[in-house]
Amino acid sequence: MANGSADTVMIGQVWEDCDKRQVPYCGEKRRVRVVGMPLIGARKYVILEALNGPNRGRRTKARLDRMRPGATGYRPVEGAQA
């Protein structure tokens, strides 16, 4: 899952925010579920729904290329309930 391609990201998957600025909520980082993958213009996006924290249930969009482990990306959560 190194490049965040559409082949590795699927609707229903749970991902965790890797951003070091993100304050853990109750001991865990922000987790999101992929709920959609629209094409907007020439870019592919993912629609994410927050699973924990004060914004639980809130939806936001992110570029598909951010769905990879890294300083400002997301990493897949192994064994998470989808």
Average pLDDT over every residue of 28-56: 90
Q: Is residue 70 part of a domain?
A: yes
Q: Is residue 9 part of a domain?
A: no
Q: Is residue 67 part of a domain?
A: yes
Q: Is residue 64 part of a domain?
A: yes
Tens of pLDDT, residues 11-26: 999 999 887 776 666 6
Query: Higher-confidence residue: 24 or 35?
Result: 35
Residue 53 has pLDDT above 60, yes or no: yes
Q: In angstroms, what CA-CA distances link 12 with 27, 36, 66, 81?
A: 23, 9, 17, 9
Domain count along the chain: 1
Q: Is residue 4 part of a domain?
A: no
CB atoms within 10 A of CB 30: 22
Q: Is residue 41 part of a domain?
A: yes
Q: Is residue 48 part of a domain?
A: yes
Stated as kind and residue range, the H or E segment containing 75 is: strand 74-76
Residue 69 has pLDDT above 50, yes or no: yes
Output the pTM of the full model.
0.77
Among 26, 21, 1, 9, which residue's Cα sits nearest to residue 61?
9
Query: Higher-confidence residue: 14 or 54?
Result: 14
Q: Is residue 81 part of a domain?
A: no
